[in-house]
């Protein structure tokens, strides 16, 4: 079955909601309840599986893009990866020096910054190719 851009965007939205729901549920259940180690491991893996589904749909959507759109997402990924590395490195050093608030800069939250950096990268690249005069 051949899938079109509209359909894949809907699937990405659905997979994003599914993953976010799984992540929040797993995080809160692990935090709030006393569970056996086996259940904890299962709950920890659950968001990874749904995130894998999201990545699969995302890669499928990349294959449907034209070359300008592919370049935009490639540049966004490069931007997010390099600035993300710099961010993690800086947080690590600053945390050693000042013991940062784990609720803001802990490993449970840091991936959110990477998402934000990716979207900043998309915006910058779109501005370069599609909007800038």
Shortest Cβ 81–other proteins spacing (Å): 22
Verify binding: residue 67, other proteins, rule CB under 8 A.
yes
Report the C-alpha gap between 17 and 14 in whole angstroms.
5
Q: Which residues contact 12 (CB under 8 A, 6 or more apart)?
A: 54, 57, 58, 61
Gap between the terminal Cα atoms of the chain: 40
Site size for other proteins (CB under 8 A): 9
Shortest Cβ 7–other proteins spacing (Å): 17
Verify binding: residue 74, other proteins, rule CB under 8 A.
no
Verify binding: residue 66, other proteins, rule CB under 8 A.
yes
Among 39, 68, 86, 124, binds other proteins (CB under 8 A): 68
Q: Please classify residue 80 by burial: count the beta carbons closer than 10 Å to its beta carbon, then call 0-12 exposed, 13-18 middle and 19+ buried.
A: buried
* Cβ atoms 120, 79 nearer than 8 A: yes
Shortest Cβ 107–other proteins spacing (Å): 38
Verify binding: residue 89, other proteins, rule CB under 8 A.
no
Q: Could you list the residues that contact other proteins (CB under 8 A)?
A: 66-69, 71, 128-130, 132
């Amino acid at each position: 079955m051949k899938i079109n851009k509209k359909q894949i965007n809907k699937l990405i939205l659905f997979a994003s909601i599914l993953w976010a729901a799984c992540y929040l549920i797993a995080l809160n259940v692990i935090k709030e309840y006393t569970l056996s180690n086996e259940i904890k491991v299962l709950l920890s893996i659950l968001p990874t599986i749904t995130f894998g589904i999201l990545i699969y749909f995302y890669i499928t959507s990349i294959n449907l893009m034209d070359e300008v759109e592919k370049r935009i997402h490639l540049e966004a990924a490069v931007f997010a990866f390099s600035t993300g590395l710099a961010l993690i490195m800086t947080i690590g050093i600053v945390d050693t020096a000042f013991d940062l608030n784990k609720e803001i800069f802990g490993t449970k939250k840091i991936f959110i910054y990477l998402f934000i950096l990716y979207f900043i990268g998309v915006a910058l690249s779109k501005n370069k190719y599609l909007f800038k005069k």
